[in-house]
Amino acid sequence: MITFVVIFAGAYAGMLLLLFLAQRSLLYHPSKSAFDAVEFSALGFELVEYEAPGGLRLQSLYRKSAMDGRAILYFHGNAGHAGHRAQKVRPYLDAGYGVLLAGYRGYGPNPGKITEKALYVDAAAALNYLKERGIPEEKIILYGESLGTGVAVHLAKNRKFAALVLESSFSSIAKVAQSQFPIFPVKFLVRDRYESDRKIAAAGAPLLFLHGLRDTTVPLRFGRALFAAAPEPKEFIEFSDAGHNDLYDHGAPERVIGYLQERDLGP
């Protein structure tokens, strides 16, 4: 019996150590491929480059509003890279919005090490790029997808954006991780925590939440928990047949555009 306990304790400790050491590999799944020039050019995007604090230069994709109106600053999720969202945002381009698909360090052609703090720095650099092109914060719509919701919420603190759209959001990465590994105390070991529930009260923009009822990656309860902590005005749209990555197959862009236009936030 004692031998069994020792073996079990050793295996448990080993697994816990492995989870701790590999946590960023489990959280971030970047593609290192270059942006597809044929695809982004066909959609009217241009490859742009700007400098983040510290001197790191980041490549992103940008298309100016056809009517010099509002711009969507888009922060993607933990997998792939910004270029993989070019087709996804086509409905916003067709509606006349400008879009900046913000590139992160360590994703696509961009160098650098991926961490929570680093992505916040990259987000601020993307915002500065739009502001330098004469687009004020009150004309910028922040859009966060999954992990990108944590980036967007952080950037929205104490700022007055036109709107904040959160797709498949979460209260904190630590809480989501704990739900995925319930037998381990991982919530105490997570380095990149993205604690949106502690920040969202300071978001100075109307809030729209989108979440799939069948989402098993970030279950609905985590989006609902963040919604409960969010200030008014806010709205939550639940997609009964959608999971984590397929909200756009169930009418999400039409709902977002309708929400923006109802609030006179068109281009």
Backbone φ and ψ for 18, nearest 5 degrees, come out as -65, -45
Asked about 250 being catalytic, the answer comes back as no
| Catalytic residue chosen out of the listed positions 76, 81, 211, 244 | 244
Q: Which two tokens stand for residue 120?
A: 């916040």
Alpha carbons 114 and 192: distance in angstroms, whole number: 10
Annotation marks residue 215 as catalytic: yes
Concerning whether 249 is annotated as a catalytic residue, the answer is no
Alpha helices in 157-267 (DSSP H): 173-180, 220-229, 252-262
Write down the H helix ranges in the chain.
2-21, 23-27, 37-42, 90-94, 116-132, 147-156, 173-180, 220-229, 252-262
Q: Name the catalytic one among 60, 65, 146, 171.
A: 146
Closest CA to 169 of 212, 137, 206, 140: 212
**CA-based max dimension of the chain:** 74
Phi and psi angles of residue 196, each rounded to the nearest 5 degrees, phi first = -65, -30
The set of catalytic residues is 146, 215, 244
